[in-house]
Amino acid sequence: MIGLSLLSQKGGVGKTTVALNLSFAFAKRGLRTLVVDADPQGAIGLSLRGKTTRDARGLSAFALEGATLDDVLVSTREPNLSLLPAGRVGGKEVDILYSQLSSDDVLPRLLGEAASHFDLALVDAPAGLVGPSIAAARATGNVLIPVQAEPLSLRTMPALLERVGSLREQGHDIRIAGVLLTMTSFRQDTALAVLEEAWALYRELVLETHVPRDNLFAKASAEGVPIGLLTRRAPPVAAVFDRVAAELEERLGILQGEDQGESLALVD
Ligand SMILES: Nc1ncnc2c1ncn2[C@@H]1O[C@H](COP(=O)(O)OP(=O)(O)O)[C@@H](O)[C@H]1O
Ligand SMILES: [Mg+2]
């Protein structure tokens, strides 16, 4: 199983949106995918409608009550996609869960249990370069860095790269799977300038696909669904995540061992 976590210093850059929609895309492409909401404030849980998600015991029961992964997994409409919501976390438990998730105990144990059921585990953590997000980076070994097309988000990149570098020096094997530009726009000068700068400074890291700013994301989030399920036929912007998934499959080496090189004849 491959692990991948979302990492950003700044909040509001699109991490949770990416985690939800990208995991849906991976599942659609046939990978047995687990998306873990490692944000004690329950970001993915809040983004989805459905009683099962709301009432789930989730990661909090796994971390604090000795539940097994099987006890707390939530299956979804998409057969290859399972969800682990943060769970019900009362005021008192937030701090305890936060420190549990920051330890090197819970997430590695969780991923260990997930390895026999899944091809890929995607972990969404809160913003910041401390606590659960760093523990998630260490546990998964691969990070995807969303950078919002606005100057502040880009300016946090050097600190983030330095942090990843220092974790590597401490012996943690962490690979940057890519930088994903989010909320992009070609009509707005400041957004465009950020894209150009990101491409110039971090060419090797930046994925070719970027996620445009689109009001449908607000709509999908209001409806509590991934964007691919907003309408019966997925809207065009949903296809972006299919491309991100395809790029990451290559970068993460997910398809190694499969007969990648062989083309398939269209007719016999
Ligand atoms: N590509 C996008 N276009 C428009 N709005 C977006 C896009 N991506 C995210 N958003 C909105 O931006 C806000 C922050 O996104 P979110 O995914 O919660 O970020 P984070 O998890 O990094 O805090 C949300 O209201 C979300 O609906
Ligand atoms: Mg979030």
Tokens 């997430």 -> residue: 107
Closest CA to 77 of 247, 219, 244, 224: 224
Integer Cα distance of 212 and 193 in angstroms:
15
CB atoms within 10 A of CB 73: 19
Domains observed in the chain: 2-249 (3.40.50.300)
pLDDT of residue 258: 63
Q: Is the CB of 14 under 6 A from ligand 1?
A: yes
Q: Ligand 2 centroid vs 264 CA: distance in angstroms?
A: 40
Q: How confident is the model at residue 119 (pLDDT cuts 50, 70, 90)?
A: very high
Structure confidence at residue 203 (pLDDT): 94
d(CA 46, CA 43): 5
Q: What is the pLDDT of residue 249?
A: 96
Evaluate if residue 255 carries a pLDDT over 90. no
Q: Tell me what the mean pLDDT of segment 129-134 comes to.
A: 94
What's the pTM?
0.96
Mention every residue, 6+ apart, whose C-beta is less than 8 A from residue 156: 8, 9, 10
Average pLDDT over residues 209-231: 94
What is the spatial distance between Cα 234 and Cα 141, in angstroms, rounded to a whole number? 32
d(Cα 49, Cα 223) in Å, to the nearest integer? 7
Cβ(41) to ligand 1 under 6 A? no
Establish whether residue 218 lines the binding site of ligand 1, counting it when its CB lies within 6 angstroms of any ligand atom.
yes
Which band of pLDDT confidence, cut at 50, 70 and 90, is reported for residue 117? very high
- Ligand 1 centre from 165 Cα, in Å? 27
Question: What does the pLDDT look like over 70-85, one tens digit per residue?
Answer: 999 999 999 999 999 9
What mean pLDDT is reported for the chain? 93
